[in-house]
Structure 1
Amino acid sequence: MKTSWEAWNGCGVEVVLGFLWLAAMFDVSSGLYLPRRRATICNGRSELCGRSYGSTSFLTSHNAFAWSPNPLALARTQAVDVPVQLRMGARVLQAQSHMKDGRLHFCHTSKHIFGLFDGGSVLDFLRKVKTWLDANPYEVVSFIFTNPENVSIPGVWKPIFDEAGITPLAYVPPARPMKRTDWPTLSEMIDANKRVVVFMDKGADGSAGGVVDFVLPQFQMIWEDPFSPTDPNFPCRIHRIEGPLEDNDHMHLINHNLNRNIIPWDLGTVLVSDFVNSPKTNSMNSIMAHVAGCAPFAQGRAPNFVLLDYLDVGDGKRAVDQLNGF
């Protein structure tokens, strides 16, 4: 006759297999223990599930943190907050960082604004996105962050991603840099629960204290046309790019955010986001004309990232849907 221990130990394999099955069926990374199923709708469309990340166009919010409903807030680039931007279809959030009082914030200080627009800490920003990700488990979201002060990636940035709960969701590519044609499909990323992609303009190559495997070097994998444009025709050329990949192996981003200089008579340059003309800038005609202007530099491909100010104005989401074939 078996003792109680022997009886339990005899079914130990079955117990372990049972736990593994439960782990596969439930999303434990979020701490919510929500039942999971394979992705059949990806970023809101069943047709996108079989599309590779490198062949998808994403609505991209320029300086997503810099939002205000006040039209007199000259430093703003968005009129609605980040959760609303995500609900409206933004799947890429771009933001500029600076150290402030010993903490990493999203803010910008440059010739583009009067002084400082402080969007709060990076940690608070990421926590808001994590809350949205937990509630929307079949979405792939990307970050394109600037790191102008070359703040340490492993020493400062990674602990913030860890604390916000983003790290377990972050996609780690098999190679750095990775060709646009080598990206997995959206459903593969979602099913693996690796549905956050992080790009950094500076320091991700190891020059900011070392490499973090999920923080990817932006310009080694994405080229972009001129930023801070002031010409409403948005003339295109490859402006920022790095090797070692060929141009054609990069994804690409169009900066479709119009600015105007508020200093008269050539006395200087202070650029602000042109809210007055945003309905025209964010119109289908303007966006598609910009896309067509960049197509010769991308072998006719649609841009992966369509970066806009004032996502709540105009046809940004409709234009990106059209670029994706809908």
Structure 2
Amino acid sequence: MQLKNVCLKFSTFLCLICCAFSQSNFNNEAYLNKSLNEITWLTAHNSHLNVFDNVVLEIASNQNLSLDKQLYYGVRGFMLDIDLLQCSKLRSLFGSCSCEGVCLCHGSCSKSHDNIKDGFLVKKLEYALKKFVKFLNKNPNEIITLFLENYVADTKILQNVFDRVKHFNQLVFNPYSPEWDVLRKGWPKIKEMIASNKRILIFDDEKKADHAGKAPGFIRSRDFLLENHFGWHNDFIDVNLSNFKQIKNLYNSSSIKMEISRCVSLHRTMGQLNWSENKTLDLNFREHENSLLNSEKMFLFHHYYGVSAKSIFIDSLTVKLMNTPEFVNERLKRRCNPGINGKKPNYIALDFINENTYKDLILPFNI
């Protein structure tokens, strides 16, 4: 594994070490003594939608790296869409059914399996889980988080998938269990999770299912996760280009109007048709009586457009800047405050984690 260390500053409140670390870096006391919610992980949006794992066309992909390469690049958060796919007898007869069971699709398999965005060789969920288990077995101080866009209604079906992947269940961290009881005790330290070998977190978004809190390992997102809405709604502001080292010389003006969407609460707008600016992120808000206060939750920062065609639908300047630390910091500071009051993200979700026109401004970041 090629190693490189890049120091990245978001502002005075956030300094992250980027790219893949050697194993020895995870043995230092400063890391081991941090609580889970004191660390930031690079997260890949639709991590399974790449030309290597799903044989998806490039125009429909959200990542340029395979899951294996994402792991070694520094990704520790993986956003996966899963659904139950049952093949028709006709498709099975002609061998055109690449996946049956719980599969990695883009959205619902039942609605979009034949759509170009799902690729030609859709993989089973086990395919990804085995890769994560293999990586964790080789790297005993690492932690991985899965964010499931979940369309599987039957908890038992999902649990059966987990049961079939050797060592997976033993690695799953359950914040509801009496041992951890995060709602009462708060987040554990990294060294405690390592000592117990509980190093996989599974956040379930509950689009259709109600697994979380009932089946071991499924974490109801709104209980423990603060999330901004992933939608971008033509929010333009003036951005000072002097903050962008290699961009400022490309334009005559010192500032340019760019799209940087506000941080509206995902959970507070869930199920609503209208985008509501009144539901911005609020650290003093509690989603429901059995959840952590927002200030105590981990913060998943959605920072992608949700489209994969890159510059076809997005202005070229924003595409160039999207994954730069300056752009991320600008959005956090200008569009997420004062609601988050400088709270640093624990997960920063990006498309094309390895891609940027200006390579020295790429934002892979790791713990």
State TM-score, norm by structure 1: 0.72
| 1:217 and 2:220 correspond | yes
Moved more, 283-292 or 86-95: 283-292
Contact 1:59 1:305 in 2 (8 A): yes
User: Alpha carbons of 1:91 and 1:260: their partners in 2 closer, same or farther (altered >3 Å)?
Assistant: closer
Specify every segment of 5 or more residues in structure 2 that has no aligned partner in the other structure, as ranges.
1-22, 87-99, 235-258, 269-286, 357-361
- Structure 1 residues 177, 250: CA separation in 2 closer, same or farther (over 3 Å shift)? farther
SS, match of residue 316 in structure 1: coil
Question: What letter corresponds to residue 237 of structure 1 in structure 2?
Answer: V
Larger CA Rg, structure 1 vs 2 = 1
Q: Is the 8 A contact 2:82 2:107 kept in 1?
A: no
Deviates more, 1:109-118 or 1:229-238: 109-118
Q: Is 1:59 matched up with 2:42?
A: yes
How far does residue 253 in structure 1 lie from its aligned partner after superposition?
Answer: 1.3
Q: Alignment identity in percent?
A: 20
- Do 1:258 and 1:281's aligned partners in 2 also have CA atoms closer than 8 Å? no
Change (3 A) 1:288 1:300: same
* Amino acid in the other structure paired with 1:159: N
- For 1:243, the equivalent position in structure 2 comes to 288
Match of 2:136, SS state, is helix
How much has 1:156 moved relative to structure 2? 1.1
C-alpha contact (below 8 Å) 2:51/2:57 kept by paired residues: no
Matched, 1:83 2:68: yes
Tell me how far 1:150 sits from its aligned partner. 4.2
Q: 1:75 to 1:61 in 2, by over 3 A?
A: same
Q: Output the amino acid matched with 1:104.
A: V
Cα distance 1:71–1:126, how it changes in 2: closer, same or farther (>3 A)? closer
Q: Is the 8 A contact 1:92 1:142 kept in 2?
A: yes
User: How does the TM-score come out when normalised to structure 2?
Assistant: 0.64
Describe the shift of the 1:214–1:186 C-alpha distance in structure 2 as closer, same or farther (beyond 3 A): same
For the residue of structure 2 that corresponds to 1:296, the secondary structure is coil
Is residue 145 of structure 1 aligned with residue 190 of structure 2?
A: no
Q: Where does residue 331 of structure 2 map in the other structure?
A: 290
Amino acid at match of 1:183: W
The answer to whether the Cα contact below 8 Å between 1:180 and 1:250 also exists between their aligned partners in 2 is no
Contact 2:49/2:56 (8 A) holds in 1: no
Counterpart in the other structure of 2:196: 192
1:81-113 CA distances to partner (integer Å, 9 max, x unpaired)?
Answer: 111111111111111111112501111147999
Distance 1:272 1:125, change over 3 A: farther
Equivalent residue, structure 1, for 2:12: none
> In the alignment, which residue of structure 1 is the partner of 2:354?
312
Show the counterpart of 1:253: 300
CA distance in 2, matches of 1:89, 1:211: 31
Q: Which residue of 1 aligns with 2:280?
A: none
When residues 311 and 274 of structure 1 are mapped into structure 2, their CA distance, relative to the original with a 3 A threshold, is farther
Deviation of 1:240 after TM superposition, in Å, equals: 1.8
Contact 1:60 1:308 (C-alpha < 8 Å) held by counterparts: yes
8 A Cα contact 2:213 2:220, kept in partner: no
User: Matches of 2:343 and 2:79 in 1, distance apart?
Assistant: 22
Aligned to 1:15: none
Indicate conservation of the 8 Å contact 1:259/1:273, yes or no.
no
Give 1:51 deviation, angstroms. Answer: 1.0
Q: Partner letter of residue 321 of structure 2?
A: K
Counterpart mapping for 1:200-215 below 5 A: 200-202=204-206, 207-208=210-211, 211-215=214-218
Selected match of 1:172 from 162, 174, 178: 174
- Aligned Cα RMSD in Å? 3.5
Does the Cα contact within 8 Å between 1:237 and 1:297 map onto a contact in 2? no
Aligned partner (choices 47, 50, 56) of residue 30 of structure 2: 47
Q: Distance in 2 between matches of 1:156 and 1:84?
A: 29
Distance 1:239 1:203 in 2: 12
Count of aligned pairs: 270
Does structure 2 retain, via aligned residues, the 8 Å contact 1:177–1:221?
Answer: no
- Which whole-Å CA distance do the structure 1 matches of 2:288 and 2:216 have between them? 18
